[in-house]
């Protein structure tokens, strides 16, 4: 991850208008799925989540702009925060206020793409 503005302590998973669910940020982990599964283990089907699991904070909320995929499903944004960022998030509302601004512009550029974004597509320059 070479983008200096890319959130370094954040795993972010979501889907787009036509592309399926995937990790867009991996917090530099070789396997973000293991942290994701540990953080969301008891909350896999809940549409809104805030949960702390040791050094991880899991947050899930629907797309703040109400965007939906081609099947009409609300697009969720799922985050696993690590380190100091994790400690500062004590609710879903905190997650929305602190995490969404980190990714909202990048997501606005990619959500309607026909194909899943590549790392190069995911710019964090506002």
For the stretch 29-41, pLDDT in tens is: 999 999 999 999 9
Q: Give the residue among 9, 1, 22 at the shortest CA–CA distance from 107.
A: 22
Q: Enumerate the domain spans of the chain.
A: 10-121
pLDDT at 126: 53
How long, in residues, is the chain?
Answer: 126
* Residue recorded with tokens 């991850």: 1
Asked if 124 and 106 touch (Cβ cutoff 8 Å), the reply is: yes
For the stretch 8-34, pLDDT in tens is: 789 999 999 999 999 999 999 999 999
For the stretch 63-114, pLDDT in tens is: 999 999 999 999 999 999 998 889 999 999 999 999 999 999 999 999 999 8
pLDDT at 110: 92
């Amino acid at each position: 991850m070479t983008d200096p503005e890319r959130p370094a302590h954040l795993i972010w998973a979501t889907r787009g208008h036509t592309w399926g669910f995937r990790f867009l940020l991996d917090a530099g982990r070789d396997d973000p799925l293991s942290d994701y599964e540990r953080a969301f283990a008891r909350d896999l089907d809940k549409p809104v989540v805030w949960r702390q699991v040791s050094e991880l904070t899991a947050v899930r909320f629907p797309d703040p702009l109400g965007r939906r995929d081609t099947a009409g499903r609300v697009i969720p944004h799922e985050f696993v925060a690590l380190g100091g960022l994790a400690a500062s998030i004590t609710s879903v509302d905190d997650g929305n206020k602190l995490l969404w601004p980190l990714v909202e512009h990048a997501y606005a550029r990619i959500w309607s793409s026909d194909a899943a974004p590549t790392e190069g597509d995911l710019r964090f320059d506002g």
